[in-house]
Amino acid sequence: EAQVTQNPRYLITVTGKKLTVTCSQNMNHEYMSWYRQDPGLGLRQIYYSMNVEVTDKGDVPEGYKVSRKEKRNFPLILESPSPNQTSLYFCASSLSEGRQPQHFGDGTRLSIL
């Protein structure tokens, strides 16, 4: 089954404790991206990747890192999480570029205390 898998689905942690949210897709998609969704602010792009080893900042990249060492995986790293990063995070992928239909993971709800 074609899917985008995120882990964990839920996480409560404390300020400053490094965490990684994993994202994996099995559709051989070249394009992957991370979004955060906050009430009243909609979906905002954090980082995106056009292909392996090619990543770029989205609209709200501060406090986040990503890597794309393999085509299928695109982890989101919070080196020193802060409470303002409490949010619902989605990973998405598409065949080759941003304006193609995006396939989303189920989401990761992060709470930073």
Partner 1 sequence: GQQVMQIPQYQHVQEGEDFTTYCNSSTTLSNIQWYKQRPGGHPVFLIQLVKSGEVKKQKRLTFQFGEAKKNSSLHITATQTTDVGTYFCAVGNNRKLIWGLGTSLAVNP
CA-wise closest residue to 50 among 107, 7, 95: 95
Q: Tokens 């989205």 belong to which residue?
A: 58
Q: Choose between 76 and 92: whose C-beta lies nearer to partner 1.
A: 92
Strands (E), the chain: 4-7, 10-13, 19-25, 31-38, 42-51, 54-57, 65-66, 76-78, 87-94, 103-104, 108-112
Query: To the nearest whole angstrom, how small is the minimum distance from the Cβ of residue 59 to partner 1?
Result: 8
CB of 8 to partner 1, least distance (A): 15
Peptide linkage before 75 cis (omega within 30 of 0): no
**Which CB, 14 or 95, lies closer to partner 1?**
95
CB of 101 within 8 A of CB of 47?
Answer: no
Give the nearest distance from C-beta 42 to partner 1 in angstroms: 4
> Nearest approach, Cβ of 86 to partner 1 (angstroms)?
17
Would you tell me which residues interact with partner 1 (CB under 8 A)?
Answer: 33, 40-45, 48, 50, 56, 58-59, 90, 92, 97-107
Beta carbon nearer to partner 1, 53 or 106: 106
Q: Which is nearer to partner 1, 33 or 85 (CB)?
A: 33
